[in-house]
Amino acid sequence: MLKIYNTLTRQKDEFKPIDDNIVRMYSCGPTVYNYAHIGNLRTYIFTDLIRRALQISGHKLKGVMNITDVGHLMEDSDDGEDKMAVAAKAQQKTPWEIAEYYTKVFFDDLKKLNIQTPEIVAKATEHIDEMIEFVKALLDKGFAYETSDGIYFDVSKFEKYGSLSGKKLDEQVAGARVEVDTEKRNPEDFALWKKAEKGHIMQWESPWGMGYPGWHIECSAMSKKYLGEVFDIHSGGVDHVPIHHENEIAQNEALAGKQTVNYWMHAEFMLVDGGKMSKSLGNTYTIKDLEDRGYEALDFRFFCLNAHYRKKLNFTFESMDMAKTARARLNQSLLEHKASSNKTDPKIIEEYKEKFMDAVQDDVNAPLALGILFTAIKEPKSKDIYNLALEFDKFFGLSFDKIETKEEDSIPDEIVMLAASRAEAKKVRDFSKADAIRNEIEAKGYLISDTREGYTIKKKD
């Protein structure tokens, strides 16, 4: 039985799909004005793990992810310029060119990280009509009103506003920033549609003149189009709880007149060196940055698997090094299991499988599941353990089927020959010759150590 932590109920709930045949899931996607940083990618790895947990629990999926290529202003709360327009201006390109470039890089990153592409990827700019229809319906139902610069959602009309973050409306008002827009009825009212100001690049015709959509309406319109009014799971980063997802709920439920998402799931933030990631600190690393420093994208995926998604994860290069080493050891051990023709008692294999499923189904507990794999590989070498790992990999997504001995790990013939002559020398008790050969081996970059069975050779670190 799969249990997942539901931000809405603040507890682990048993997962029951609306439709037995298919799980419908929406995940907030990237705003494609920049490279995704490792924090963003942690959140997409999290979404991928939910997908895989559902799949190995026997569910089929219809997942939707949006690509925000318009309407996400510099502040989530509708302030500032459109992120796409800012990037376009800075790079002297059109917003469409910006979107195309960063969308491509984003999907390249997902591929490297073994993150499944959801069944439907929907671009905001291709769903403007659906958004306009949604806004019209909210106006008709009395949940929205027009001002001189746009159409706003009236949060005072939606009683449940704040239920996801648990913040009551009056608390939010008390803590709100000084309000500049005097036409807004309540400080939390948010733009559904903005009338285009002079010189605004991306704009569309609407019943309210030329304009562009608000960011929040995008997810509501696209989830409704592809998943229907009511669906199972909605995921995203924890920063979206207080504004973006609160606003999505308000829009969806105002229109539908009922609860529209059964399970809300949120990934905690990634920190760098214990603090926030920010451009000014120069610590918003990308996958390319990690690759340039000698890590593989899957080292980063492995790093993320070591922490539960509801815990903050602190990124440091020391901990990345540890993840890289641990993954290399894991892969090496799996290779040895793969090469073995021994068997493992099927009962033992079954026990591992059960423990693994319990971990995955206990709110997608990846670190616990990984711990079970690390215990399993300590079993005597056997192909069954390798096959077990392959099965676990449907969840981990670490490409255990592709691991192979790296060129640099294999010992050159010359060194193997030298080691053999050293063993000969030792056999005839010519220790000075044996020592000389050892020095020669070391000078060529290899270490030889004697064991009870003979000796082992490895490359110097």
Output b/e per residue, 214-230; b: 16+ Cβ within 10 A: bbbbbbbbbbbbbbeee
> By Cβ distance, which residue is nearest to ligand AMP?
237
Query: Whole-angstrom Cα distance, residue 414 to residue 405?
Result: 19
d(CA 244, CA 212): 17
The only residue of 38, 84, 135, 219 in contact with Zn ion, by rule CB under 5 A? 219
DSSP letters, 171-199, are: HHHHHPPPP--TT-SSTT-EEEEEEPPTT
Local structure of residue 22 (DSSP, 8 states):
B
Q: How many helices (H) and strands (E) does the chain have?
A: 15, 15
As a whole number of angstroms, the distance between CA 415 and CA 459 comes to 10
Give min distance, CB of 215 to ligand AMP, in A: 9
- When the beta carbons of 117 and 325 are compared against ligand AMP, the nearer one is 117
40, interface contact from Zn ion, ligand AMP, none, CB < 5-8 Å by kind: ligand AMP
Residue number, 42 or 338, with CB nearest to ligand AMP: 42
**Count of residues touching Zn ion (by CB under 5 A):** 2
Nearer to ligand AMP, 42 or 195 (CB): 42
Measured from the CB of residue 228, what is the shortest distance to ligand AMP in angstroms?
A: 22
Q: Tell me if 447 sits within 8 A of 457, measured CB to CB.
A: yes
Q: Quick one: what does residue 239 bind among Zn ion, ligand AMP, none, with the CB cut-off 5 to 8 Å set by partner type?
A: ligand AMP
The CA-CA-CA angle for residues 54, 60, 65, to 5°, reads: 80
Write the CB contacts of 367 (distance below 8 Å, at least 6 apart in sequence). Answer: 305, 306, 307, 308
- Partner from ligand AMP, Zn ion, none contacting 269, C-beta within 5 to 8 A by type: ligand AMP
Nearer to ligand AMP, 224 or 240 (CB): 240
Q: How far apart are CA 385 and CA 349, in angstroms?
A: 7
CB of 138 to Zn ion, least distance (A): 17
95 binds, among ligand AMP, Zn ion, none (CB under 5 to 8 A by kind): none
Determine contact, residues 218/68, Cβ cutoff 8 Å. yes
Q: Which does 30 bind (CB under 5 to 8 A by kind): Zn ion, ligand AMP, none?
A: ligand AMP
Query: Which of 261, 372 has the CB closer to ligand AMP?
Result: 261
Burial code of 123-140, b = ≥16 C-beta within 10 A, e = fewer? bbbebbebbbebbbebbe
Residue 139: both structure tokens together: 């106006």
Query: Which of Zn ion, ligand AMP, none sits in contact with 17, Cβ below 5 to 8 A by type?
Result: none
When the beta carbons of 33 and 143 are compared against ligand AMP, the nearer one is: 33
Cβ distance 157 to 143 under 8 Å? yes
Q: How far is the CB of 424 from ligand AMP (least distance, A)?
A: 58
Which one of 23, 28, 290, 359 is in contact with Zn ion (CB under 5 A)? 28
Q: Which is nearer to ligand AMP, 278 or 456 (CB)?
A: 278
Question: Minimum distance from CB of 30 to ligand AMP (Å)?
Answer: 4
Pairing of strands 144-146, 150-153: antiparallel
What mask, x for binding Zn ion by CB under 5 A, covers residues 391 to 430? ----------------------------------------
42 binds, among Zn ion, ligand AMP, none (CB under 5 to 8 A by kind): ligand AMP
Q: How far apart are CA 64 and CA 68, in angstroms?
A: 13
Nearer to ligand AMP, 28 or 330 (CB): 28
d(CA 53, CA 50): 5
In the complex, least distance from residue 306 CB atom to ligand AMP, rounded to whole angstroms: 15
221 touches Zn ion by CB under 5 A? no
Q: For residues 239 and 379, which CB has a smaller minimum distance to ligand AMP in the complex?
A: 239
CB of 263 to Zn ion, least distance (A): 15
Q: Which two tokens stand for residue 411?
A: 């010992």
What minimum distance in Å lies between the beta carbon of 219 and Zn ion?
3
Q: Please, what sign has the CA dihedral across residues 309, 315, 318, 323?
A: positive
Residues at the interface with ligand AMP (CB under 6 A): 28, 30-31, 39-40, 42-43, 236-237, 239-240, 267, 269-270, 277
Please say which residue, 124 or 377, places its beta carbon nearer to Zn ion.
124
- Site residues (vs Zn ion, CB under 5 A): 28, 219
